[in-house]
Amino acid sequence: METVDAAMNPENHAETLSNRRAAENIWAMPWQELAVVLGQQNILTHRSFNIPHRDRALEFLRHCGFDLGRFEHRKQIDQFFGEALFFIRHVLLSSDEREKFPVPADLLHLDDPRRLMVYASQRMPRRRYLRLWSCSILKVMNAISHLEYNGKLRELESAREQIFGRIRSIVTHRPNAGWRARSNNLELDIEHIEWKEAKTRHSVLLKLLHKPEAMAEEVFDYLGVRFVVSTPQDIARLLRILIETDIIIPHQALSLRTRNSLLNLSAAQRQLSLAYDLFHTGTTSPKEFLDMCEKVNWSFPSERATDGYKQNMHSSSKYKSIQLTVRHLVRTPNPAFLVLSSLAGQLRHARGLEPEDDPLLMGLIPEENARFFPLEIQIFDQSSFRASQFGPASHEQYKSNQSQTVRKKVLGSLLHFNETRLQTQDY
């Protein structure tokens, strides 16, 4: 009866449609966004957005901290867009793929960043290629924004100087004889030390994109050092030195980041405890005791290669090492304090006053910035280090696996377009 009345009366018909739309909107849930918020999906799995028009895009960007009415904000977004497009084309795609998957003209001539979000939300079948490209660019732009606004990275050089300085204070390089590490109670020859160079921006972006739950402040290997020693026994001795010299501070170690596929700690502890018991009861001489200690087997049995070991998804099972992450507190001068302190000093000089510390200034602005920086420590013996140089356990293979994962997450279905399917698209 309602349908008949609506057909006879256009006003009733319009009201009925309005009521139906209102009823539908009540339970039109943003399912993919809810899945991300509740941890069931990550944002890199999405192939579309939910921003249907430019007004909503403007509002969304403003809530993200970007006001398109301000020149510097608009310029920053344009820079993110350009960097993301370059990263996709020259890092994630090969030269052949750059020809195979051309950038849509709408994106090459983008004059309004709001359009990018609207393109990523379109559902028309003939605009699917444009939507996938837009989504991919937005994902990379999101990672770039986290990298750009991470204040910790501005102090990375100071952190590297301070933390590496602590390590260099306990090691000595001898020409043609390698390195020697020392604590108050122990010295150890080290075959090789590598100081991790600063990560490139593209390398950090790959890291952020292959772990979508991570942000720039959660990248743990900006600073790193690699030690290579002769035997598993020497690994244990080196760890002792690093602990005794506070390079490894146990209560500041990030246990969830620990990887150990070399030292069978529990078995070694049992064998050493037995040797000490026998020695303390007078059953063995000092020489026999030392012989027993040298024969302790620190390695895992061949059939079992882990002791609570958490394998990185991109690492080969043949990759054996000890990897630790420990935080160090780094203090750097606060630039704002230095500037205002200088101005205050000039003002006092102009008034003919003696220079002195200004307690009010020091109370308003901290003199130093203090931040925890993670240091990644990798330790190998000769055998595991050789295995890490070539083949499936090599770093090159790890980076290749990581890059393939990022390609799938960022580009996804875009990689499945062929020439025939492209002919069905408006791009």
For residue 9, the model assigns a pLDDT of: 65
Summarised one tens digit per residue, pLDDT across range 325-360 is 999 999 988 887 777 777 777 766 676 666 565 566
Contacts of 391 (CB under 8 A, 6+ apart): 316, 318, 397
The residues with which 374 forms a beta bridge, in sequence order, are 327
Query: What count of residues does the chain have?
Result: 427
For residue 216, the model assigns a pLDDT of: 56
CB 148 within 8 A of CB 65: no
For residue 368, the model assigns a pLDDT of: 83
For residue 394, the model assigns a pLDDT of: 57
For residue 310, the model assigns a pLDDT of: 47
For the entire predicted model, the pTM comes to: 0.73
Contacts of 98 (CB under 8 A, 6+ apart): 89, 90
Three-state SS at 251: helix
For residue 79, the model assigns a pLDDT of: 95
Residue 405 predicted with pLDDT over 90: no
Summarised one tens digit per residue, pLDDT across range 86-109 is 999 999 999 999 999 999 999 999
The fraction of the chain above a pLDDT of 90, given in percent, is: 42
For residue 214, the model assigns a pLDDT of: 58
**Could you tell me if residue 178 is left (phi over 0), alpha (psi between -120 and 50 degrees) or otherwise beta?**
left
Q: How many CB atoms lie within 10 A of CB 100?
A: 14
- Extract the tokens encoding 88: 């996709």
Confidence of residue 397 (pLDDT cuts 50, 70, 90): confident
The CA dihedral of 11, 12, 18, 24, to the nearest 10 degrees, is: -160
**Is 242 buried (19+), middle (13-18) or exposed (0-12) by CB count in 10 A?**
buried
Stronger pLDDT, 230 or 44, i.e. the higher one: 230
Residue 167 predicted with pLDDT over 90: yes
Q: Which of 173-187, 260-274, 331-345 has the lowest mean pLDDT?
A: 331-345
For residue 175, the model assigns a pLDDT of: 81
The sign of the dihedral angle between the CA atoms of 382, 378, 306, 251 is positive
Confidence of residue 2 (pLDDT cuts 50, 70, 90): very low
Domain residue extents for the chain: 1-35, 42-149+414-422, 152-262+308-393, 264-297
Q: What average pLDDT does this structure show over 168-189?
A: 90
- Extract the tokens encoding 268: 């070694």
For residue 217, the model assigns a pLDDT of: 60
Helix axes 265-280, 286-294, angle to 10 degrees: 170
Summarised one tens digit per residue, pLDDT across range 356-389 is 655 665 567 778 888 898 999 999 998 888 887 7
Distance, in Å, from the CA atom of 391 to the CA atom of 316, rounded to the nearest integer, reads 9
The DSSP line for 87-141 is: HIIIIIS-HHHHHHSPPPHHHHT---HHHHHHHTT---GGGHHHHHHHHHHHHHH
Q: Which CATH class for the 152-262+308-393 domain?
A: alpha beta
For residue 229, the model assigns a pLDDT of: 94
Residue 308 predicted with pLDDT over 50: no
Stronger pLDDT, 181 or 336, i.e. the higher one: 181
